[in-house]
C-alpha cells in the first residue's frame, strides 16, 4: 500500500488479490452479484455475531494481548448465550447444522 501511495503505482486485480488488497476476484460485471451473495451470507449470521465482529474485533486487535483475550472471552460468552446461538448449537447437535434459525424480531 505504501508503494502505491508513494509512487502512484496501479495494480491489476490479480496483483491486488495476490498482495492481499482484496479478498475476492470476480470477472467484469460480476461485482454486484458477488456483493449481494456476500451480503446475504452475512445477513444469515446471528445478529450478535455480526455485532461482535464489526464492533468488538477491531478493539480486540488494538488492545494489549491480555486485555484482548478477556474481551474475546466475554463477548463469546454473551454471543453464545443468545437464544439464536443456543438454537443453532442444538441444530448442530441434532445433525441439522444447515438449518436456519428464525431471527427474533
pLDDT in tens, 24-76: 999 999 999 999 999 999 998 888 888 888 999 899 999 999 999 999 999 88
> Do 101 and 91 meet the contact criterion of CB atoms below 8 Å apart?
yes
Same domain, 39 and 63: no
Same domain, 55 and 90: yes
pTM: 0.62
Sort 17 into a burial class: Cβ within 10 Å, 0-12 / 13-18 / 19+. middle
Q: What is the spatial distance between Cα 25 and Cα 79, in angstroms, rounded to a whole number?
A: 32
Q: What is the pLDDT of residue 88?
A: 83
Domain count along the chain? 2
Tell me what the mean pLDDT of segment 90-99 comes to: 78
Same domain, 94 and 50: yes
Give the range of the structural domain holding residue 95, as residue numbers without chain letter.
45-105
Same domain, 49 and 38: no
Same domain, 52 and 38: no
Same domain, 33 and 77: no
Same domain, 22 and 54: no
Amino acid at each position: 500500500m505504501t508503494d502505491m501511495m508513494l509512487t502512484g503505482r496501479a495494480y491489476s486485480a490479480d496483483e491486488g488479490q495476490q498482495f492481499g488488497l482484496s479478498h475476492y476476484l470476480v470477472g467484469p460485471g460480476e461485482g454486484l452479484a458477488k456483493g449481494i451473495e456476500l451480503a446475504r451470507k452475512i445477513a444469515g449470521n446471528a445478529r450478535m455475531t455480526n455485532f461482535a465482529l464489526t464492533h468488538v474485533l477491531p478493539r480486540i486487535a488494538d488492545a494489549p494481548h491480555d486485555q484482548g483475550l478477556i474481551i474475546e472471552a466475554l463477548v463469546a460468552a454473551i454471543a453464545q448465550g443468545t437464544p439464536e446461538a443456543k438454537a443453532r448449537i442444538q441444530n448442530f447437535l441434532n445433525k441439522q447444522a444447515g438449518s436456519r434459525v428464525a431471527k427474533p424480531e
